[in-house]
Amino acid sequence: MPDQTFLDSTELVLNMGPQHPSTHGVLRVVLKLDGEKVLGADCVIGYLHRGVEKIGENRTYQQFAPYVDRMDYCAAVSNGLGYCLAVEKLLNVEAPPRAQAVRVVLTELNRIASHLIWLGTHALDIGAITPLFYVMREREEILNIFEKYCGARLTTHAFRIGGLQYETYDGLEADVKAACDHVLPKIDEYERLLTGNRIWIGRLTNVGILNAADCKQYGVTGPMLRAAGVKWDLRKAQPYSGYQQYEFEIPTGTHGDTFDRYLVRMEEMRQSARIIRQAVEKIPEGPIMAKIPKVIKPPVGEAYVSIEAPKGELGYFIVSDGSTQPYRLRVRPPSFVNLQALDQMTRGALVADVVAIIGTLDIVLGEVDR
């Protein structure tokens, strides 16, 4: 905190949220201000706490699967993938190749959808209203595929422990390719609208800087870590679900400011489309479910499994006591951990920047509060 205040006035405490359009849900931030300069930010969270971990202890492994969709509801497919992989790890089984390929296609589509929502809301917060309508239009294409595949658009519950419940529908490949062909030029269009825009550059550059060392200290992962120049992505570092077969780049930034994070996420959407095109081209034939018992009772033990969710590292730590219900189920949510850096990122910024910084964190309160 700066020693000297530039206005000879008392410190002002400003309450922002939980009912505030730019806090992306029910986040309350208590800001300490000196004039328009932020001295510190204290987050008050938990308004959306549903006790997901406790619910997990009171449900069977299969029964709990739909609950994970309700954490990060912008990326329900990713949540489901992480959970299924964790239980599969405990059971020591692997989904068949066909299931893995379909999982990758849907998860990456979901990453694009999640990033599109981030872009729309982030731009809206900063004052650019138009992109929100555009991204909703493109996201629709992706949600339509989810709807045709599993009947749900948002909380999909697309995967099952051991593989998939549903075979792909006729024409999924064509739909997915069409969606990629539709979205990719649109991403260029958004970039033409924003990347060179003077206001956009002015509002984002050198705002909310978080360098690589700070990211590691705070446990910040995902695009935020990559924007700080750390080339780390769990899909490459510890590949799961067959990601090692696909060619893709890990986009990184240099400064770790809001503009870098914007560029990284934009490029990530293109890379996701690249993965989807490779995966959908060669979905292998074969079964979609591994041989797992009807009643899932993992042997006594514990495992921590994490995936690269759109927001960062999403981990599940599950302890099994050999019964049908998890003895302990811990979710390591990327949004919760990333949000912790808000205080550091907002210090010295202006009030208007706080809105930009919350937007660039890309939090979903359903996941922060669980």
Partner 1 sequence: MPEEDKPEVKPAQTAPPAAAKPPAAKPAAKPPAIMAVSAWEGDLPALLRQRFSDQVSECSTYLGQNFVVAAPEAAIPILELLRFEADFDYLVDITAVDYPQRPERFDLVYVLYSFARNERMRVKARIADGYKPATATKVHLAANWLEREVFDMFGIEFAGHPDMRRILLPEDWEGYPLRKDKSIIDCDNKWIEEHLGIEGGQ
Distance in Å, CB of 297 to partner 1, minimum: 8
Distance in Å, CB of 340 to partner 1, minimum: 5
Instruction: Rank residues 133 and 304 by Cβ distance to partner 1 and give the closer one.
Output: 304
Q: Which residues touch 49 (CB under 8 Å, ≥6 apart)?
A: 369, 370
Contact 144, 107 (CB under 8 A): no
Q: Report d(CA 94, CA 86) in Å as an integer.
A: 10
Which of 32, 255, 330, 347 lies at the binding interface for partner 1 (CB under 8 A)?
330
Which of 210, 230, 263, 345 lies at the binding interface for partner 1 (CB under 8 A)?
230
Residue 82, interface with partner 1 (CB under 8 A)? no
Distance of CA 292 to the CA centre of its chain: 29
Q: Report d(CA 69, CA 87) in Å as an integer.
A: 16
Angle formed at CA 153 by CA 152 and CA 156, multiple of 5 degrees: 55
What's the maximum distance between 2 C-alpha atoms anywhere in the chain? 73
> DSSP per residue over 46-60, as a string?
-TT---HHHHHHTS-
Region of 13 on the Ramachandran plot (φ > 0 left; ψ -120 to 50 alpha; else beta): beta
Instruction: Rank residues 163 and 315 by Cβ distance to partner 1 and give the closer one.
Output: 315
Position 91: which residue type?
Answer: L
Residue 57, interface with partner 1 (CB under 8 A)? yes
Residue 155, interface with partner 1 (CB under 8 A)? no
Indicate the DSSP class of residue 299. P
- Residues in 308-327 at the binding interface with partner 1, rule: CB under 8 A: 313, 315, 317, 319, 321-323, 325, 327
Instruction: Rank residues 46 and 202 by Cβ distance to partner 1 and give the closer one.
Output: 46
Burial of 129 (0-12, 13-18, 19+ CB in 10 A): exposed
Which of 153, 177, 274, 332 lies at the binding interface for partner 1 (CB under 8 A)?
332
Residue 303, interface with partner 1 (CB under 8 A)? yes
Which of 11, 14, 50, 206 lies at the binding interface for partner 1 (CB under 8 A)?
50
Distance of CA 367 to the CA centre of its chain: 9
- Residues in 261-280 at the binding interface with partner 1, rule: CB under 8 A: none
Structural tokens at position 69: 């969709």
Which of 31, 55, 250, 289 lies at the binding interface for partner 1 (CB under 8 A)?
55
Residue 369, interface with partner 1 (CB under 8 A)? yes
Instruction: Rank residues 106 and 364 by Cβ distance to partner 1 and give the closer one.
Output: 364
Q: Which residues of this chain interact with partner 1, rule CB under 8 A? A: 45-46, 49-51, 53-55, 57-60, 63, 89-90, 92, 216-219, 230, 232, 237-238, 297, 299-304, 306, 313, 315, 317, 319, 321-323, 325, 327-328, 330, 332, 336-337, 340, 369-370
